[in-house]
Structure 1
Amino acid sequence: MRQYSVQIKEAKDIEKIICNKCGKEIIISRGVPQEDYLEVEKRWGYQSGKDNQVDCFDLCEDCYDEMVKGFKIKI
């Protein structure tokens, strides 16, 4: 989840990145995240039950590791 500060002329600067799973805040310094994270944006297609829905979320590295650990087919 991202929180933006809106500047004049519609420019947006990332103010916060928060892991959607655990709630951990990724620190932003001078517009640059101070640790890596997974950013996902998915637009669902016509063959899904979520026709044209867009889902976006962010995961910290620990939550990413936990998620992929549960994969049946390892990456």
Structure 2
Amino acid sequence: MRQFKEQTRKVKEVTSIVCNKCGRVIPVVEGVPQEDVLTVDKRWGYFSEKDNRRDHFDLCESCYDELTRNFKIKMEEE
């Protein structure tokens, strides 16, 4: 979840990113997150029960690791 400070009506500056799973705050300095995060922005399609809904969330690296560790089919890594 991104937290913003409004600079002007049209310009918003990200001040921090909060992991939606654990709530840990990742600071942002001059627009740059101080840790890497997974950002998901999903617009659901016609054949889902969430037709046209947009979901957006952020996960810290620890929560990402916890999520992917439980995959039945392991993801590919390069």
Q: TM-score range by the shorter chain?
A: over 0.9
Q: Amino acid of the residue matched to residue 22 of structure 2? A: C
Cα distance in 2 between the residues matched to 1:28 and 1:8? 19
- C-alpha displacement at 1:15, in angstroms? 1.2
Partner of residue 19, structure 2: 19
Partner of residue 41, structure 1: 41
TM-score (normalised: structure 1):
0.96
Q: Amino acid of the residue matched to residue 59 of structure 1? A: L
Per-residue displacement from partner, 1:36-75 (whole Å, max 9, x unpaired)? Answer: 0100000000000000000000000000000000100001
Partner of residue 2, structure 1: 2
Cα distance in 2 between the residues matched to 1:32 and 1:3? 13
Matched, 1:64 2:64: yes
Q: Give the superposed CA RMSD.
A: 0.8
Q: Which runs of 5+ in 2 are unaligned?
A: none
- C-alpha displacement at 1:9, in angstroms? 4.5
Matched, 1:28 2:35: no
Report sequence identity in percent: 57
The runs of 4+ residues in structure 1 deviating greater than 4 Å are none
